[in-house]
């Protein structure tokens, strides 16, 4: 099989797959006749071949996939006007703490945020497939250690945590993560524009809140658990953290 044929097989497999394709699976396509280095060269050539098209070939945590380019998202949204679910400020800040400080316990998160974290917040992140318990800290009560998953990286369009932008504040980190979009079922996922997110978080505090898509009033209205009264407000002191 020549290079052109190999690229054609690889391209077809990637376009037809609804999930990222690993290098191991790519080798199965060719009955191990092509090594990892050769496949990497073919993938790089495919990236160049698609450089001027509406789809791009990218490497994410669980493999390689074709996805739509961020600048075309506004057009694709017209075909699927349903908006992705919005998450409260508390959810996004909790996710940011886990992503940037992992592995962390619930007590660690509460110390950083300065408020008690509702159990439902962590459950929502676990149900979404973005975080999981990877172990337990050897301390009183052996609290669970939370970390992000490969699904989280895939949805963010990243191959590793090292690609997360370095931001000093939890609010800024939450603003970047707030641009997450769930993957499309047809395999042509939209990806996160880190540049757009960084521009948003480097402006004013109000813009940061808008980027997270929540004001304090909206957070109360869209809270996961309407009985959660632990979030701080302008009229009440913050609740103390609890492990």
Mean pLDDT by 10 residues, the chain (243 residues): 90 93 92 91 94 92 90 85 76 90 92 89 92 91 92 86 76 65 42 39 34 35 40 41 45
Which pLDDT score, from 0 to 100, does residue 141 have?
85
At 69-114, the pLDDT tens digits run 989 888 888 887 777 667 788 888 899 899 989 999 999 999 988 8
The per-residue pLDDT for 160 is: 86
Q: What is the pLDDT of residue 179?
A: 58
Q: What is the Cα 32 distance to its own chain's centre? A: 32
Contacts of 91 (CB under 8 A, 6+ apart): 121, 124, 125, 224
Q: What are phi and psi of 62, to 5 degrees?
A: -105, 10
109 contacts 143 by C-beta, under 8 angstroms: no
Q: Which domains, from first to last, does the chain contain?
A: 3-76 (1.10.10.10), 89-221 (1.10.10.10)
10-17, Cβ contacts within 8 angstroms, sequence gap of 24 or more: 10/39, 10/42, 10/43, 10/46, 11/46, 14/46, 14/57, 14/64, 14/65, 14/66, 15/66, 15/187, 16/187, 17/65, 17/187
Q: Which two tokens stand for residue 4?
A: 């052109």
- C-beta atoms surrounding 41 within 10 Å: 14
Rounded to whole angstroms, how far apart are CA atoms 118 and 146? 15
């Amino acid at each position: 099989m020549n290079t052109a044929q190999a690229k054609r097989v690889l391209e077809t497999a990637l376009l037809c797959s609804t999930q990222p394709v690993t290098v191991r699976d790519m080798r199965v396509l060719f009955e191990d006749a092509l090594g990892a280095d050769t496949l990497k060269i073919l993938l790089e050539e495919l990236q160049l071949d698609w450089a001027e098209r509406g789809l791009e070939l990218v490497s994410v945590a669980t493999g390689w996939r074709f996805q739509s380019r961020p600048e075309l998202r506004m057009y694709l949204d017209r075909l699927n006007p349903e908006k992705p679910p919005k998450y409260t400020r508390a959810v996004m800040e909790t996710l940011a703490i886990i992503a940037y400080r992992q592995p962390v316990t619930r007590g660690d998160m509460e110390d950083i945020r300065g408020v008690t974290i509702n159990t439902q917040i962590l459950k929502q992140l676990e149900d979404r497939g973005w975080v999981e318990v990877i172990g337990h800290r050897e301390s009183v009560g052996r609290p669970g250690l939370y970390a992000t998953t490969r699904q989280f990286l895939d949805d963010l369009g990243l191959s590793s945590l090292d690609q997360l932008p370095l931001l000093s504040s939890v609010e800024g980190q939450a603003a970047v993560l707030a641009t997450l979009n769930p993957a499309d079922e047809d395999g042509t996922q939209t990806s996160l524009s880190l540049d757009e997110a960084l521009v948003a978080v480097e402006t004013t505090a109000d813009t940061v809140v808008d980027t997270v898509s929540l004001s304090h009033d909206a957070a109360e209205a869209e809270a996961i658990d309407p009985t959660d009264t632990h979030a701080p407000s302008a009229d009440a002191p913050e609740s103390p953290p609890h492990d």
